[in-house]
Structure 1
Amino acid sequence: MLYYAAKLFWFLMRPEQLCLVLLFFAWWLIRAGRRLGQHLLAGVILFFALLSVWPVGDYLLQPLEDRFQRAPLTTDIAGIIVLGGGEEAELSKARGTEEFNWAAERYMALLPLLQSYPQAKVLVSGASGNPLAQHISGAIVAERWLRDAGVKADIVFEHKARNTWENASNLQPWHYQDPRPWLLVTSAFHMPRAVGVFRKRGWNVVAYPVDYRSFPPGQSHINTNLSENLFTLSVGLREWVGLLAYHLTGRTSSWLPAP
């Protein structure tokens, strides 16, 4: 129930959805002769005007993406954990192919990592983030892609985890006692929450962030792609909301986990 409530909450609070609601509210106020409607409409227009030239989402993503640095490949590890999310599970099933999205680096990083750690055990976890498509597994897409790439490493594919908490929970059977850390691979903006969740579940993990979405502080620049700027803003806002929600529900070791 909590999973579906979280999905509904975010559906209503996404920046594009919220702006749409505000536009309808502004229209209603203007029709009612309220001056507030004009101010509200002007505010939404100014927001989109700013977003059409400046990646506002960078300011939300930068502190998350710079929180953890990549662990050196000389680190002695117990294994590698790759969190799903880089695949387009529904499209892959519909097309009969392996389709990936902006977070494909989560899987791409695995190939060079296996060259550095050829004997490492690998855990890949992920179902579908769509509450209406829970019968589709993202891990299956990764499994087929790695098989087609000729990868023959010792890989476990976990197909049921719908979120980060379930990633860490469903992988518990492979959480054997080993003083060495596990290398955790996920998007850089998602790394603080992922580390916090795995620590809460008793895992010893070190970060290997990939899939950076923002430029480093001081290097943000004009970007006239409104849809891209809106997307990165949505990603950053969602992750900060997720950090707060996971902290309040006791699912992370701290509000903003640190190295």
Structure 2
Amino acid sequence: MVYLLKFGASWILPPGIFFLALWYVAWRLYKKREKGLAGMLAALVFVFYLLCTSLVSERVMGALEATYTPPENPQGDVIIMLGGGAFPDTPDVSGQGTLCSSPANRLLTAARLQRKLDLPIILSGGQVYSDSGPEAVIAKRILMDLGVPEEKIFVEGRSINTTQNARFSKEIMQEQGFTKPILVTSAFHMRRSVLNFEKCGVEVTAYPADYRVNTRHDFHYNKLKPSTSALEDNVLVMQEVLRALVTRYLE
């Protein structure tokens, strides 16, 4: 009964209510003998509906996230963690400014790897917009709160995209004599990140983190309910594919 209520509620709230409204419009057009227009509208709404279901998103996102698997025994001389957004003035335990959810998950993985391997960390990520936080600076404060020594943390705070993450991290590697980086970023972001580092002439060991979907995809009818989170995952995959094409062929 609980699952049925969840499924029903998804059609009362957005985006489900909009699908019902648009399918009603398509039905009214069909009744008025606008069969071509009605069919086209119904088909477009159906495609959009599929993009809002986890039935589709978990398979599409899962395929992207499966590109790389975390190695059991990663070997390297430095960890590079890529940023992914921060808030500049939100309250935190040791000051102001917090990481968004994805980079916070990346940071957790990077911190655990640092403790396991006792390697230095390069934190790569600057302030992208006027109202966003300096990612690497905030991440450094949190790492130090978690017990990582300051001398083992290198801050790269100039980059505002993945291309610059790779370029400016390489500069720090050359200055410090690092040659075998372990790259930590979100699993959905790893394929493009590796490509960017390769274009800069840096071979990395990929260590994906921040997984958004499970590796096993069991079916249940609630995966057919429309949700904004499923749409977000599908859009993320589309963005990654598009940006990878730009990186490979235009940059």
What TM-score do the two structures reach when normalised by structure 1?
0.71
Asked if 1:231 is matched to 2:244, the reply is: no
Amino acid at match of 1:158: E
Q: Residue 63 of structure 1 corresponds to which residue in structure 2?
A: 63
Deviation string 1:37-81 (CA, Å, 9 cap, x unpaired) is 4334323432344345443223332232111111233x4312000
Aligned pairs (5 A) from 1:24-173: 37-73=37-73, 75-85=74-84, 87=85, 89-90=86-87, 92-95=88-91, 96-118=96-118, 120-129=119-128, 132-133=129-130, 136-153=133-150, 154-173=152-171
Q: What secondary structure does 2:70 align onto?
A: coil
Residues 65, 211 of structure 2: 8 Å contact kept: yes
Q: Give the Cα separation in 2 of the matches to 1:61 and 1:54.
A: 10
Q: Residue 242 of structure 1 corresponds to which residue in structure 2?
A: 243
Q: Give the Cα separation in 1 of the matches to 2:102 and 2:170.
A: 28
Task: Name which one, 1 or 2, has greater alpha-carbon Rg.
Answer: 2
Residues 161, 170 of structure 1: 8 Å contact kept: yes
Aligned pairs (5 A) from 1:171-250: 171-176=169-174, 181-216=180-215, 218-219=217-218, 222-223=222-223, 224=225, 226-250=227-251
Instruction: Give the gaps of 5 or more residues in structure 1.
Output: 1-15, 251-259
Pairs aligned (count)? 218
Shift of 1:136: 3.7
Residues 99, 135 of structure 2: 8 Å contact kept: no
Q: What secondary structure does 1:109 align onto?
A: helix
Q: Give the Cα separation in 1 of the matches to 2:34 and 2:43.
A: 15
Residues 53, 231 of structure 2: 8 Å contact kept: no
Higher-helix-fraction structure: 2
Amino acid at match of 1:157: V
Q: Give the Cα separation in 2 of the matches to 1:202 and 1:83.
A: 17
Alignment RMSD: 3.2
Instruction: Give the gaps of 5 or more residues in structure 2.
Output: 1-14
Give the direction of change, closer, same or farther, for the CA distance of 1:231–1:128 in structure 2 (3 Å limit). Answer: farther
Amino acid at match of 2:139: A
Higher-strand-fraction structure: 2
Give the direction of change, closer, same or farther, for the CA distance of 1:157–1:59 in structure 2 (3 Å limit). Answer: same
Residues 55, 233 of structure 1: 8 Å contact kept: no
Shift of 1:117: 1.8
Shift of 1:198: 0.7
Q: What secondary structure does 2:248 align onto?
A: helix
Q: Percent identity between the aligned chains?
A: 27
Residues 55, 232 of structure 1: 8 Å contact kept: no
Q: Give the Cα separation in 2 of the matches to 1:180 and 1:49.
A: 47
